Amino acid sequence: MRRYFSKKILLLCGLMSLVVLALVAASLYLVDQEYQQEKTVLIKQANTVLVASERHTIQVINEVNVMINGVRMMYSRTASISETAQYIAALSFDQTVIEDIYLADARGDFLIPAMTSVRSGSVADRDYFRFHQRAPADSLFISSVVKGRVSGEYRFHVTRRITQPDGSFGGVVIASVKPQSFRDYFRDLQIGPQSMSALVAISERKLIARIPEPSESIWDTPLSPDDILVKKLAQVDAGSFEAPSPADGIQRYYVFRKVANLPLVIVIGFSQADIDSRVAEWQIWLILVNLIVIVSVAVITATQSMVIVSRDKLAAANQRLNTLNAKLEELALYDALTGLPSRVLFTDRFHVAQLMTERGGKTFSLVFVDLDNFKLVNDQFGHSAGDECLKVIASRMRGALRSVDTICRWGGDEFLVLLLQDGMSNDAVSLTERLFTAISEPIVIQGVIVIVTASIGIAHYPIHGNKLDDLQKSADDAMYLAKKNGKARVVVAPHPEAAEDDY
């Protein structure tokens, strides 16, 4: 009898051992599957963040480019340091992104030391100055990050060459950009505790911005020619790889993409720790389930529960990803303050209007709207009141237009409007006058009635150009003519063979 029970005990222990081994094997398999699923989700999120970061980078650099182009144009037209300095002072750029804009002459000496801490000095030894001094082409240059000689803060510079009428080198116009603005944007889109986002200058192989921030020595240290990212960029514009980070030594999985038309590359990475952080809670739960299964021998029930939970976790992860995708798409296509279409969406609708024109029947006009003396609203009532004022004006402008027209907040207090029309250019003038009237209606700010006017320029397609940049320049020139003639008016860009019209 004892022998019979011993065999039964042995058989039971053997069966329990098999159950435990099967459960352990199943658990290891489920953990591996969970790791693979979470890694797939992280890769998708990293690519989503990559696309959003590229759009953000293009938008910021384009905005900086527009501003320094305007400063350069003002200086080239007037040859006046004082007028150009006043123009810079009137620019309402975001100082969390751009520290300041200033000019240096052909020797590298400051013409306009716009920063209060810069009273003298030279930029003749800076990489951007030497580049423009050597290269006569009108090229946008993005420097590597350097520490300011006065502020001691890290900055990179976006610059353009000033060319004298005789073609000689006349100096540079410089925008000092804060890497922290990109760092803050990257931080908002982090996908894990050890994830990283970086913006790298391709030619210098140096960091422009990174989250987490590296040590000071890393800013000045270029990537090695043997670095895997450098080798990858020599072959493809976008891709992925796994490697230890040269900044902190952490092994990560990376996705990268060159920024369109700019000498920059964006890199997004996540580590094993980021995957672990996502499955840690799930692993603890699995261990508890295993203990319950071993005690109660409810293998089937517990296994089914784990499968259901795994599916629920995957569905929740997919839902989070879809929500993130929708949020990122909305941020990319619409202005966060006014809800108007962004530059990306406006540019797309411009190309659609071009196609419609090429197929016959319709043409369109581009309208440049610049609010007059809007800086006074910010100075008197504060930036929050100024933002509310912009929202009201944007809503009125949208209400004054038709559903087929598109209005975009181009930057600060500037707007671009795309007007589709069936007949003559008078259609655009009539619509623009409605727009002008809507803007000029009184606004109550903090109990005070304020009237904001606008200077408006109109350019017609294809009379004034068949590209967005050409039309925008013509409309911008017309707007500046309106400013020059006393503001608060509409000016049509003159026909290439006729005089300008003023309304």
Same domain membership, residue 420 and residue 315: no
Q: What is the pLDDT of residue 314?
A: 47
Rounded distance between C-alpha atoms, residue 125 and residue 440, angstroms: 49
Q: Is the pLDDT of residue 341 over 90?
A: yes
* pLDDT for 309 beyond 60: no
Quick one: tokens of 90?
């009137």
Identify whether residues 492 and 363 lie together within a single domain: yes
**pLDDT tens, residue by residue, 135-145:** 888 889 998 88
For the segment 294-311, the average pLDDT, to the nearest whole number, is 54
For residues 250 and 314, membership in a common domain is answered with no
Q: Is residue 199 part of a domain?
A: yes
Retrieve residue 233's tokens: 């960029």
The verdict on 30 and 77 lying in the same domain is: no
The one-letter code for the residue type at 107 is R
Q: Are residues 376 and 238 in the same domain?
A: no
Higher pLDDT, 304 or 338: 338
Instruction: Check whether 237 has a pLDDT greater than 60.
Output: yes
How sure is the predictor about 291, in pLDDT bands with cuts at 50, 70 and 90? confident
The whole-number pLDDT of residue 501 equals: 45
Whole-structure pTM value: 0.51
14 in a domain, yes or no? no
CA distances from 87 to 90, 172, 280, 367, 492 (A): 5, 16, 56, 22, 23
In the chain, the number of structural domains is 3
Q: Assign residue 238 the CATH number of its domain.
A: 3.30.450.20
Indicate the pLDDT class of residue 421, thresholds 50, 70 and 90: confident
Q: Residue 131's pLDDT is what?
A: 92
Range of the domain at 34: 24-41+274-332
Do 252 and 141 belong to one domain?
yes
Cα angle vertex 362, ends 348, 428, to 5°? 85
- In this prediction, residues 274-289 reach a mean pLDDT of 77
Same structural domain for residues 454 and 378?
yes
pLDDT-wise least confident of 212-216, 340-344, 386-390, 397-401: 212-216
Q: Residues 188, 53: one domain?
A: yes
Please check whether residue 212 lies inside any domain of the structure: yes
Shared-domain flag, residues 238 and 326: no
| 500 in Cβ contact with 494 (< 8 Å) | yes
- CA-to-CA dists, residue 104 to 49, 122, 131, 178, angstroms: 37, 8, 14, 20
**In a domain? residue 418:** yes
Average pLDDT value for the chain: 83
Q: Per-residue pLDDT tens for 453-467?
A: 999 999 999 889 889
Measured distance CA(67)–CA(64) in Å, rounded: 5
**What's the mean pLDDT in 402-406?**
89
Do 183 and 284 reside in the same domain of the chain? no
Residues 202 and 291 in one domain: no
Per-residue pLDDT of 179-214, as tens digits, reads 888 888 888 888 889 999 999 988 888 888 899 988
* 400 and 317 within one domain: no
Encoded tokens for 14: 């053997």
